[in-house]
Structure 1
């Protein structure tokens, strides 16, 4: 079971990670105030400090109220499985797109989701995956002339 306590701590951890990343990133910059105004790291540093502070506050409040928060069930195992079945392939799409490009990742994502989650036949899944990918390529690359993330396959085919 996923309870509100777990969500509160998970969200606090995520925000803390983002804030810590901001602190590390802005520490390489001058985050003070100069004669001509704020330096490059001024606002990122302060936003990161606020994120870390608020994430810590949320985590502390969750721990203090853990008994009450554990009684609030957010998702049963079946519901959680369905959410993860939808969310994990999207995360996979983002990760695969970094190495293979957006179009190949999109085709693989649609193929996997339509075939295994939608339980459609291979020819349907393959047709939709390739069709949507080709139409997306034509719209963005040809019609709008907006290049999207390319991978080695598109570059090999001379599309990158």
Structure 2
């Protein structure tokens, strides 16, 4: 299987996820009400963004089809790259169930930036904390959309 085929398959899957989100959001109000965004406002727009991004990935893959040659994940190096990308994301999802989304996100970013990106600890820590804090402020404070909390957020009175 070539990288071109993989790009098309995954872009198609992301497009379907976006289309499902848009379809589901249309059962709700997708506009802006007197009290702020309605229930379907964010899912509808996120779905549209996913659909647009996947369409761009498909177009880019078609435009550069010749450059997207064979990809080998059957050898040790290819499998290591795939696992190096996929296992931390699975870890993020699992940790979020016990630690909450913000702590799990900070840990994911910290270790991914440090070990995969090979950046210094201070850079990884700054990005991890910065992104988690900004995400908290945007969702919890500004949009008042509660996300998954863990014991740390509850202990700090943020839950």
The interval holding the TM-score normalised by the smaller chain is 0.5 to 0.7
Whether 1:147 and 2:149 are equivalent positions in the alignment is no
Partner of 2:32: none
- Give the number of the structure with larger relative contact order, counting CA–CA contacts within 8 Å between residues 6 or more apart: 1
Please report how far the alpha carbon of residue 76 of structure 1 lies from its aligned counterpart in structure 2 after TM superposition: 3.3
User: Offset of 1:74 from its aligned partner?
Assistant: 5.0
| Structure 2 equivalent of residue 123 of structure 1 | 122
Deviation digits for residues 59-115 of structure 1 (CA, Å, limit 9, x no counterpart): xxxxxxxxxxxxxx8523211210110000000000100000000000000001000
State which structure, 1 or 2, has the greater radius of gyration over its C-alpha atoms: 1
Query: For residues 1-160 of structure 1, what are the structure 2 equivalents within 5 Å?
Result: 75-77=73-75, 78-160=77-159
Distance, in Å, in 1 between the alignment partners of 2:142 and 2:81 is 36
Question: Normalization by structure 2: what TM-score?
Answer: 0.54
Aligned alpha-carbon RMSD (Å): 1.5
Moved over 2 A (4+): none
In the aligned structure 1, how far is the partner of 2:116 from the partner of 2:150? 26
TM-score (structure 1 length as normaliser): 0.53
Unaligned runs of 5+ in 1: 1-72
Give the secondary structure class of the aligned counterpart of 1:126: helix
- What is the count of residue pairs matched by the alignment? 89
Distance in 2 (alpha carbons) for counterparts of 1:115 and 1:74:
26
Alpha carbons 2:73, 2:82 under 8 Å: kept: no
Query: Is residue 72–residue 78 contact of structure 2 (8 Å, CA) maintained in 1?
Result: no
Contact 2:106 2:129 in 1 (8 A): yes
Q: How far apart are residue 156 of structure 1 and its match?
A: 0.4
